[in-house]
């Protein structure tokens, strides 16, 4: 089978030995049903290899579906992959087939496999080993004949050490590994890709194609390309649109290539620190607001009971042990005491009812702040309650109660 023909069919540009080897492995494994794990940095073009494997396999007439696991919320990933029964959760208005059911007899490409939740990894392992799965909300075991090809842009062995990825699933997926080289290790392929992209953009925007002089080519060859082929394509498009001269010199090119790689820039590094500090600050602020709200509610309740002459419940919290104690006092003992706080009336006095209204108004303001922080945390984590709860420093159960309490509508 001619590799050049395959490259042309799947728009793969380059002659690097590592690239050719990856294509050869894909062709060799295509006729089998073995699981394949494709690894490589973001932007190297990993998505072409599962297409090659599917096209040259006996399943080529079956369905081919590509799924980005990182783009599906944690709460719905099981439903997307395995389907669900009507009424199994809020919003499940009808039965739904999952991707494993829809692609029966075909190929399922799971991109960013490292983003799968642990619970979903367990379900996936069962499908790979037995071909069996169960819809969400169902007890009926179903069979499927799906070939799984996975891809990742980071080292799964480190994720295993950190407890974020199951070791048994890793070895089950990694039956045949395919390593896609980063652009910086592909030599002069960068110039071939540039010419391809330059011609494509010239045709799209109805203008002459841009060209690199010798010095500009050296810059291209010496740059590390942290964004790989995707970054090269974006830079080529920028130059094609912005530059009026079609001959690109090193002086012009240097304005489009960063001096340092993203991820190693000091400004970005400080931005990450600021983001973490902001998260800690938000967590502390929310905890303080929640604590203050509880204290104000207790004071409001105590004041109302004192005004009515009813027995009073004073709640005190021991910080170290978290033990709540209730001390009851009758009306006579309270009336003999001095007011707990300056400006507060003794029991039975109705002259300062306005103070109670002020406390209610402040309590509502705190509730608004609490609701605002919860909404921001949910938006930050794309509606994932577990991550939002961790950021806010509260339990997931408490967050769920707060969402219902404030009637927060999630997107």
* pLDDT for 411: 60
Give the whole-angstrom CA distance, residue 35 versus residue 127: 12
What sign for the dihedral angle of Cα 235, 240, 243, 249?
A: positive
56-65, 100-109, 294-303, 379-388 — which is least confidently predicted? 294-303
Give the whole-angstrom CA distance, residue 316 versus residue 197: 69
Alpha helices in 261-395 (DSSP H): 266-308, 331-336, 353-380, 385-392
Give the whole-angstrom CA distance, residue 374 versus residue 368: 10
* pLDDT for 88: 86
For CATH 3.40.50.300, list the domain ranges present in the chain. 3-181
pLDDT exceeds 70 at position 333: no
Give the whole-angstrom CA distance, residue 318 versus residue 315: 10
Q: How confident is the model at residue 247 (pLDDT cuts 50, 70, 90)?
A: very high
Other CB atoms closer than 10 Å to residue 53's CB: what's the count?
29
* pLDDT for 360: 41
Cα atoms in the 13 Å half-sphere on the side-chain side of 11: 9
* pLDDT for 270: 37
Q: Can you say how many angstroms the Cα of residue 362 is from the centroid of all Cα atoms in its chain?
A: 36
Mean pLDDT, rounded, for 238-253: 94
Burial class (CB in 10 A: 0-12, 13-18, 19+), 186: buried
pLDDT exceeds 90 at position 382: no
Is the CB of residue 99 less than 8 Å from the CB of residue 67? yes
Burial class (CB in 10 A: 0-12, 13-18, 19+), 206: exposed
Is the CB of residue 93 less than 8 Å from the CB of residue 134? no
Mean pLDDT, rounded, for 396-400: 80
Q: How confident is the model at residue 390 (pLDDT cuts 50, 70, 90)?
A: confident
* pLDDT for 328: 42
Between 112 and 323, name the one with better pLDDT.
Answer: 112
pLDDT exceeds 80 at position 319: no
Q: Does domain 184-253 have CATH number 3.30.70.20?
A: no
180-184, 232-236, 299-303, 390-394 — which is least confidently predicted? 299-303
* Residue carrying structure tokens 């290539």: 257
Mean pLDDT, rounded, for 284-297: 70
CATH class of the domain at 3-181: alpha beta
DSSP 258-289: -SS-TTT-HHHHHHHHHHHHHHHHHHHHHHHH
Give the chain's largest Cα–Cα span. 99
What sign for the dihedral angle of Cα 223, 225, 230, 235?
A: negative
Between 255 and 329, name the one with better pLDDT.
Answer: 255
Between 274 and 60, name the one with better pLDDT.
Answer: 60
pLDDT exceeds 90 at position 30: yes
* pLDDT for 276: 52
For CATH 1.10.8.60, list the domain ranges present in the chain. 184-253
* pLDDT for 323: 35
Burial class (CB in 10 A: 0-12, 13-18, 19+), 227: buried
- The model's pTM is 0.62
- Give residues with Cβ within 8 angstroms of 358, minimum separation 6: none
pLDDT exceeds 70 at position 353: no
Between the alpha carbon of residue 281 and those of residues 277, 358, 396, the distances in Å are: 6, 27, 19
**What are all long-range contacts of 214-217, with beta carbons under 8 Å and residues at least 24 apart?**
215/249, 215/250, 216/248, 216/249, 216/250, 216/252, 216/253, 217/191
Mean pLDDT, rounded, for 1-24: 93
pLDDT exceeds 70 at position 41: yes
Q: Which residues are 132's β-sheet partners?
A: 143
Give the whole-angstrom CA distance, residue 49 versus residue 6: 11
9-13, 143-147, 321-325 — which is least confidently predicted? 321-325
Q: What is the pLDDT of residues 111-141, one digit of tens each?
A: 999 999 999 999 999 999 999 999 999 999 9
Between 47 and 316, name the one with better pLDDT.
Answer: 47
Give the whole-angstrom CA distance, residue 274 versus residue 267: 10
Mean pLDDT, rounded, for 230-253: 94
* Residue carrying structure tokens 């395995």: 82
Mean pLDDT of the chain: 81
Is the CB of residue 297 less than 8 Å from the CB of residue 363? yes
* pLDDT for 279: 56
* pLDDT for 90: 83
DSSP 43-72: TS-TTHHHHHHHHTSTTTTS-EEEEEGGGS
DSSP 157-222: HHHHHTTSS-HHHHHHHTTEEEEPPPGGGSTTHHHHHHHHHHHHHHHHTTSPPPEE-HHHHHHHHH
Q: What is the pLDDT of residues 56-79, one digit of tens each?
A: 999 999 999 999 999 999 889 999
* pLDDT for 284: 63
* pLDDT for 332: 43
* pLDDT for 178: 97
């Amino acid at each position: 089978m001619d590799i050049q023909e395959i490259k042309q069919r799947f728009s793969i540009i380059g002659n690097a030995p590592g690239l050719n080897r990856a294509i050869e492995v894909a062709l060799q494994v295509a006729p089998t049903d073995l699981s394949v794990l494709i690894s490589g940095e973001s932007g190297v073009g990993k998505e072409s290899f599962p297409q090659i494997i599917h096209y040259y396999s006996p399943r080529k007439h079956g369905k081919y579906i590509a799924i980005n696991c990182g783009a599906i919320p944690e709460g719905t990933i099981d439903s997307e992959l395995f389907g669900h029964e009507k009424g199994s959760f809020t919003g499940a208005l009808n039965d739904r087939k999952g991707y494993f059911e829809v692609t029966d007899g075909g190929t399922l490409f799971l991109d960013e496999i490292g983003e799968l939740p642990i619970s979903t990894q367990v379900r996936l392992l069962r499908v790979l080993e037995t071909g069996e799965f169960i819809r969400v909300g169902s007890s009926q075991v179903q069979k499927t004949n799906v070939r799984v090809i996975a891809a990742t842009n980071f080292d799964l062995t480190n994720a295993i050490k950190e407890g974020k990825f199951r070791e048994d699933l890793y070895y089950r997926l990694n039956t045949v590994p395919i390593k896609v080289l980063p652009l910086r290790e592909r030599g002069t392929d960068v110039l071939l890709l540039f010419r391809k992209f330059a011609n494509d953009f010239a045709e799209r925007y109805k203008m002459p194609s841009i060209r690199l002089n010798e010095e500009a080519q050296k810059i291209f060859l010496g740059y590390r390309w942290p964004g790989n082929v995707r970054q090269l394509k974006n830079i080529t498009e920028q130059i094609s649109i912005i530059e009026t001269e079609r001959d690109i010199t090193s002086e012009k090119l240097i304005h489009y290539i960063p001096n340092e790689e993203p991820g190693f820039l000091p400004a970005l590094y400080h931005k990450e620190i600021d983001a973490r500090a902001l998260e800690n600050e938000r967590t502390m602020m929310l905890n303080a607001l929640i604590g203050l709200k509880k204290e104000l509610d207790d004071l409001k309740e105590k004041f109302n009971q004192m005004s009515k002459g009813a027995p009073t419940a004073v709640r005190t919290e021991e910080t170290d042990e978290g033990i709540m104690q209730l001390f009851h006092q009758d009306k006579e003992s309270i009336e003999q005491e001095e007011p707990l706080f300056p400006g507060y009336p003794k029991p039975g006095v109705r002259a300062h009812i306005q103070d109670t209204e002020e406390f209610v108004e402040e309590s509502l303001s705190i509730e608004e702040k609490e609701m605002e922080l919860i909404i921001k945390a949910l938006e930050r984590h794309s509606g994932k309650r577990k991550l939002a709860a961790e950021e806010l420093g509260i339990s997931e159960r408490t967050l769920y109660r707060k969402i219902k309490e404030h009637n927060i509508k999630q997107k």
